Structure 1
């Protein structure tokens, strides 16, 4: 038993040492900074293109919503444009959402509420799942290039834990990634950035993101339809909603647990 304990400590120590060794990539190289700046400029060019195709008007209301009051003001103004300039509003929404996901800017929950308020449940859920998956994928690939220093600096302990779990569940990795997407076990932002670092294949990451985001997107988008009745963001996830998400998450990881039990 003593030997097992020593081996376990040595294993964890080697994981930590491996993470610390990889951290030597900081600071970013010229190539990495160039890639990040190019991505930012690409998003800004897209937003500028949308802005130039909109009719002349006062757009002082356009800003990233930080409160429900900001969101209601934005909704009230955009409703006037959505019917006549649907394509521009959709493209602008997608560019902003993907940009926020790519660069881990908080506030995407307000964007999901806005999708429900402007487009209804079915279109809103489809739009949120598409943009959230595109943004997560963009973050995944950007992290391959410049993400290591960020992860090692912000979440060293979480990274070691995630690395261990992925290694242990390699055979049923899709189930595990689905569980993470469906439950708040690890923040989605961390999953997006850390997945390429711990060698989660992109096809697994993509499938888990597309499928795993649907339940939470439905809850948020549906709440956006009754935006005026919300008093705080905390009202989005009552006990029943959180319990349902956890239940779906447990079901998704059950095959992994059963296979481990048999072995």
Structure 2
């Protein structure tokens, strides 16, 4: 009897997982079509010799090539180029596709820090929220996979201890490399974190690292080789550390005053 129940549970779990992956594939295709349609209708006419540069940059040379091409098009098609950039960035965030760092740097190169910074932060937060909504829609699969269910239960215990300082806690999580941001996006809707809090904490949490990326981008035209492309500097480390301290100070003060 117990073996039969275990087999039934296993079959049901497999059915849930297969259905979830099928739904995810459909969502991916729909979003890809929406993004592709936006690029098709919004992008200005691209010269044949420029088309090879139009791809998600994966290294310094590809980033330089794409920036060089877009610089020529953005002056006469500012809004169109920005719309296409935002659509691509949100798509990458929504489906946890690599390339966001280079897209942030590209934004700094095209628009400068004052404009690029809020656009990057808003695009990251919105793309992450799309991932949040996808995870919420496919939520049943998380409970069907034992390893993910354990993660959800473990994080619920952690967050229950941080309810009074949830915003600060989520901001700090976004600033840290661990856990990966896509894991946070996937788990958040199942941990009682609402969309407004999720979006705002994401916007604030990636602010410091986005400052670094867009600042590097602003100087991209002056860089001659990957050797000039340096993310890990004392200045950047101090910036991240300073923001962490600023976020945690209110938490420490509140806990001391309540002691």
TM-score range (shorter-chain normalised) is: 0.7 to 0.9
Q: Is the 8 A contact 1:178 1:212 kept in 2?
A: yes
SS in 2 for 1:203: helix
Once the two structures are superposed, the pairs formed by residues 192-231 of structure 1 within 5 Å of their partners are 192-227=185-220, 228=223, 231=226
CA distance in 1 between partners of 2:82 and 2:157 (Å): 40
User: In 2 relative to 1, CA 166–96 (structure 1 residues): closer, same or farther, beyond 3 Å?
Assistant: same
Residue number in structure 1 paired with 2:241: 246
Q: Identify which of 161, 168, 187 aligns with 2:161.
A: 168
Residue number in structure 2 paired with 1:12: none
CA distance in 2 between partners of 1:153 and 1:220 (Å): 37
1:236 and 2:227 aligned: no
1:89 and 2:85 aligned: no
Q: How many residues align?
A: 241
Once the two structures are superposed, the pairs formed by residues 31-110 of structure 1 within 5 Å of their partners are 34-51=26-43, 54-58=44-48, 59-110=51-102
User: In 2 relative to 1, CA 87–153 (structure 1 residues): closer, same or farther, beyond 3 Å?
Assistant: farther
User: In 2 relative to 1, CA 253–96 (structure 1 residues): closer, same or farther, beyond 3 Å?
Assistant: same
Residue number in structure 2 paired with 1:4: none
Q: Deviations over 1:16-65 (max 9, x none)?
A: xxxxx9998422356665444433322222222224xx125111210110
Q: Is the 8 A contact 1:179 1:250 kept in 2?
A: no
Residue number in structure 1 paired with 2:133: 141
User: In 2 relative to 1, CA 116–22 (structure 1 residues): closer, same or farther, beyond 3 Å?
Assistant: farther
User: Which segment drifts farther, 232-241 or 150-159?
Assistant: 150-159
Residue number in structure 1 paired with 2:4: none
CA distance in 1 between partners of 2:157 and 2:13 (Å): 16
Residue number in structure 1 paired with 2:178: 185
TM-score of the superposed pair, with normalisation by structure 1 = 0.79
User: In 2 relative to 1, CA 196–122 (structure 1 residues): closer, same or farther, beyond 3 Å?
Assistant: same
Q: Is the 8 A contact 1:102 1:135 kept in 2?
A: yes
CA distance in 1 between partners of 2:242 and 2:154 (Å): 23
CA distance in 1 between partners of 2:131 and 2:213 (Å): 22
CA RMSD of aligned residues (A): 3.0
User: In 2 relative to 1, CA 196–76 (structure 1 residues): closer, same or farther, beyond 3 Å?
Assistant: same
Q: Is the 8 A contact 1:143 1:194 kept in 2?
A: yes
Distance apart, 1:112 and its partner CA: 0.5
Q: Which runs of 5+ in 1 are unaligned?
A: 1-20
Q: Which runs of 5+ in 2 are unaligned?
A: 1-11
